[in-house]
Amino acid sequence: MKAFGFSLTLSNLEHALWWDSDQHKQAKARGWGLVLSLRGGDVVRPFGGQWFGPDFPRRVLRFSCPLPILPFISVALGRFGFYIGFKTFGADDRTYLLWPGHVFTEADMMPESMALCPSIRFTRNRGR
């Protein structure tokens, strides 16, 4: 699985956005930032249940977008923030093989495999 595209990030601190790196726990609640991205690749959207069980998703939609046309926008200001759009996630967890419909295969379980999932999040507690 793969995800690709391009991004523009404006921020006053290296880790001002809680979703922009693996060091999201080091996010600074006093920071600000803006991310605008256009992405393409494998899209996976589970419905119902939990990603890591024991009640796994009941249905899963998967498709491929060959062009970087899927938007992702995120904003952080102090302890407030939001994102909306197609967010990347690591698609190499073997738990995904247990999802219905055989959406994930052994071939998908490569290190650093990434996919996109339509997501939205609002928070008042960024950096905690």
pLDDT in tens, the chain (128 residues): 899 999 998 888 655 455 544 455 555 566 788 999 999 999 999 999 999 988 999 999 999 999 999 999 998 888 788 999 999 999 999 999 999 888 899 988 898 899 999 999 998 876 55
What is the reported pLDDT for 69?
Answer: 97
Do 27 and 127 meet the contact criterion of CB atoms below 8 Å apart? Answer: yes
- 0.75 surpassed by pTM: yes
What is the reported pLDDT for 21?
Answer: 47
Angle at alpha carbon of residue 14, lines to 124 and 25, rounded to 5°: 50
What is the reported pLDDT for 19?
Answer: 52
Do 117 and 86 meet the contact criterion of CB atoms below 8 Å apart? Answer: yes
| Residues 6+ away with beta carbon under 8 Å from 4 | 39, 40, 41, 68
Separation of alpha carbons 33 and 119, rounded Å: 18
Burial class (CB in 10 A: 0-12, 13-18, 19+), 28: buried
Total Cβ atoms within 10 A of residue 92? 16
What is the reported pLDDT for 101?
Answer: 85
What is the reported pLDDT for 127?
Answer: 57
List Cα–Cα distances, 31 to 6, 73, 121, in angstroms. 23, 17, 18
| Residues 6+ away with beta carbon under 8 Å from 122 | 81, 82
